[in-house]
Amino acid sequence: MTWRQAVLLSCFSAVVLLSMLREGTSVSVGTMQMAGEEASEDAKQKIFMQESDASNFLKRRGKRSPKSRDEVNAENRQKLRVDELRREYYEEQRNEFENFVEEQNDEQEERSREAVEQWRQWHYDGLHPSYLYNRHHT
């Protein structure tokens, strides 16, 4: 029976100690937490509207009634943003493909130039000047 009491006493003391440590850290950082909570509340107020305003916003217009200027502007901003993102994506894809094609063409030109140079060295008989000096200038 005494070992159970010792285990319970140690567990209880550990819980008390942990709760005191948690309170101590919250007190030491309390002002920063309050400032952070206030900033998050301000951000929430900027992003989210009150529930009553939201329900009025949705109920204000029927299906066939014209949209308000704010609704039209919000939809246009969303469409413009989507168009801009799509344009950036396709521009990036096009640039990557152009770079790839340019690298492929450079490699092909290098291989063909090396092959021509090897052919000229192999077939050069030593009697006539090389091809570079035998060109006709117009």
Poorest-pLDDT segment among 34-48, 82-96, 106-120: 34-48
**In-domain check, residue 128:** no
**6-38 per-position pLDDT tens digit:** 888 888 888 887 887 776 655 555 555 555 666
pTM for the whole thing? 0.40
**In-domain check, residue 136:** no
Rounded-to-integer distance, Cα 96 and Cα 85, Å: 17
**63-88 per-position pLDDT tens digit:** 677 888 998 999 999 999 999 999 99
- How far is CA 93 from its chain centroid? 16
How many domains does the chain divide into?
1
**In-domain check, residue 134:** no
**120-136 per-position pLDDT tens digit:** 888 777 676 666 655 66
**In-domain check, residue 88:** yes
**Token reading at 92:** 């990036």
**Token reading at 68:** 């308000």
**In-domain check, residue 119:** no
